[in-house]
Amino acid sequence: MKKVWALSFLSISIFVGLSIFMFFNVLTFWNIIGFFLFLSYIFILLINFKAGLIFYIIVRSYLDSSSKLGINFGVGPENLASYITVVFIIVTVFYLLSKKMNIFRVKSFRLFCIFIAFCLISTFHSIKPFLSFVDLLRFVGLLMVALAAYHVFDRHDVKLLFCIFIGALILPILFSIGQLILRSGITDSGFTRIYGTFIHPNSFAFFLLTIMFFLFVNLIYNRFGVSFFLNILLLLVCSIFLVLTFTRAAWIGLFIGIFVSAILVREYRTRIIVFLLAFTLLISPLIVKRFADIGQGKTFGFRTDSWTWRIQTWTNSLPLFYEHPIVGIGVGMFPEVKAVYAHNDYVRLLVETGLVGCLIYIAFFFYLLIKSFLLFRVTDDLFEKQFALTIFILCIVYLLISFSDNLSRSASILTYFFVLVAFAEKTHIAKDRFLSN
């Protein structure tokens, strides 16, 4: 019966979709490709929810490129990622309701549920409520993918999880190779920066950073059962492309994360420190050249460097928070009012959701940070250690990166972090030890 309904939906959708394309005169090659990818995803999701979830996680890192490819269905500025995410939210809600799942049972995401609820309140006080509600779906999508992952994955899917994350890495790397060959990266302060399938090199760098710590911790404990040489090869590839993004915050995050792992993993401390020093020396010329850019250059049309520009932007934005300190001006409204992105999640959240919303968001990450650290210290299970250490390092890195970038807006990056947390809690829920009270 599922197949009959899915095929019926597919047939009708193809007819209606092509009709809309012709009506809006947007029947282009990339629109047709995007449209059939969209329909394929819905078909898979309706036939087999777990397969649809896997498909969504893998392609989430590919979807931001749809806006640069000009994929638009003639109904607004939203890209393919928006449409697929909305469908995923709707289907997941009905799926979880059919399974009678209590979302508050998943302790790791209770604070994030509260954050979304508060953002919804903020939306009603927004200067543009509809746009705030649309932007709120970014956070709802993250919660849905976490709850779905919690429900469908278990400890036996650990190798599948590894394959999913590597699958998500393939197309961004291939796009990056193409950008290197064609020299089509983004030119910034004399550097040609690759961006893969993402909108900006910073986003690509933070995605690579997430995958790298996923691989780096596996190199220590190898609970995924992956060949040592394959793990090293993947880390090497990610490292090369991370360097070529020329994203300073990601470089700093990499060094801090590796340094933290050296402190916590005593048996590998010497090797980790030697690796960190060797890597630093290897790319030191690029580090010196890239950081020499601070204090000079031109950013967004202003005759100032990027760091000074950021500080000026934050300083000029805080009066908006003072005017609306409780619920803010509405989710997603910072760029609407200031015509630029904040490049600081804490300033942006203060302005958009007020003090309460910002504190809840920070508390969510600190909750994961503390609980994963405590688990890492007390458990003897190497499987638990691997996931706890990965989440602990990523929490530290994300909290630091958020001081200078728009990480909370990057659903394509946070999707993989949320899946990791959900998978970790699900696999340890029987013991009631992972990220629990």
Using DSSP, state whether 173 is helix, strand or coil.
helix
Given the structure tokens 């995401």, which residue do they identify? 109
Q: 165, 216 in Cβ contact below 8 A?
A: no
**What are 410's two structure tokens?**
């990057």
Q: What is the pLDDT of residue 12?
A: 46
Q: Is the pTM of this model over 0.85?
A: yes
* Residue 117 CB partners (closer than 8 Å, separation 6+): none
Q: How many Cβ atoms are within 10 Å of 318's Cβ, its own excluded?
A: 12
* Residue 306 CB partners (closer than 8 Å, separation 6+): 293, 294, 297, 299
Q: What is the pLDDT of residue 394?
A: 97
Q: What is the pLDDT of residue 38?
A: 75
Q: What is the pLDDT of residue 368?
A: 95
In the chain, the amino acid numbered 119 is C
| Distance (Å) of CA 257 to CA 116, 296, 390 | 28, 28, 9
Each residue's pLDDT expressed in tens, for the chain with a length of 437 residues: 455 444 444 444 544 444 444 444 455 665 666 677 777 777 788 888 999 999 999 989 988 776 555 545 443 445 677 888 888 998 899 888 888 877 777 888 999 999 999 999 999 888 888 888 888 999 999 999 999 999 999 888 889 999 999 999 999 999 999 999 988 888 877 788 999 989 889 999 999 999 999 999 999 998 888 999 999 999 999 999 999 999 989 999 999 999 999 899 888 777 778 777 777 777 777 777 777 766 555 544 455 667 788 888 888 888 889 998 998 999 989 988 888 888 899 999 999 999 999 999 999 999 999 999 999 998 888 888 999 999 999 999 999 999 988 898 888 899 999 999 999 888 765 455 454 54
User: Interhelix angle for 345-378 vs 306-323, to 10°?
Assistant: 100
Length of the chain: 437
In the chain, the amino acid numbered 133 is F
Question: If you write DSSP's letter for every residue of 21-77 in order, what string do you get?
Answer: HHHTT---HHHHHHHHHHHHHHHHHHH-HHHHHHHHHHHTTTTTHHHHTT---SSSS
Domain locations in the chain? 1-100, 105-428
* Residue 315 CB partners (closer than 8 Å, separation 6+): none
* Residue 258 CB partners (closer than 8 Å, separation 6+): 216, 272, 275, 276
Helices (H), 157-268: 158-182, 201-221, 228-245, 248-264
Q: What is the pLDDT of residue 40?
A: 77
